Amino acid sequence: MAEVHRTRRGALMELIRKTVANPPKECVIWPYGHSMGYGKVQFERRVQQAHRVSLILYSGKNPPHLHACHGPCHNRLCINPLHLAWQTQLENNADKHRDGTHKTGKDAGANRKLTECNIRAIRNDPRRHKIIAKEYGVTPNYICTIKAGNAWSWVPMDPPPDQGLFS
């Protein structure tokens, strides 16, 4: 039994190392176990998010306070390090920006809930504003201003995603 487990774990890390060593252009979808939509793998004696481990190995860094953020693909199961970046905590910026530009309480609340990751995902989300808004607990109008770049304007707009990333 232990043999089987070890073999399987080896295969998981092998896929990550192979991907990191020679990342392709397209998404690399994690075929193994996942939870909360993210691939899981045992790394340095802990179960971690597979895409995070991929970025750790690729970047040679493991900043504990940063997220491994997907962009431009926003595919949670993608472990291609070229599609990942360490996300800085922009909450301070968000607060400053909100105080300066977003005067309404509604916007302030919406702003607080979202992260830079969310903003990138929203801007690339092809679904209707109403559906996206419901998912993030904000108003459709707010989704509209995010997509237009009027809200969260300091988060750079991604280039348009490759065709075929969304099914």
List contacts with Zn ion (CB under 5 A): 27, 73, 75, 78, 80, 83
Distance CA 91, CA 115 (A): 8
Closest CB 24 distance from Zn ion, rounded Å: 10
- Rounded to a whole number of angstroms, the minimum distance from the CB of residue 51 to Zn ion is 9
Of the pair 54, 80, the CB lying nearest Zn ion is at 80
Q: Extract the tokens encoding 129.
A: 């504003």
- Residue closer to Zn ion (CB basis): 12 or 79: 79
Q: How far is the CB of 2 from Zn ion (least distance, A)?
A: 34
Distance CA 47, CA 84 (A): 19
Q: Please, which residue, 49 or 75, has the CB nearer to Zn ion?
A: 75
Q: From residue 76, how far is each of 4, 40, 60, 112, 125 by CA, in Å? A: 27, 11, 21, 22, 13
Structural tokens at position 81: 């390090």
Q: How far is the CB of 57 from Zn ion (least distance, A)?
A: 16
- Can you read off the two tokens belonging to residue 156? 């750079």
| Nearest to Zn ion of 78, 133 (CB atom) | 78
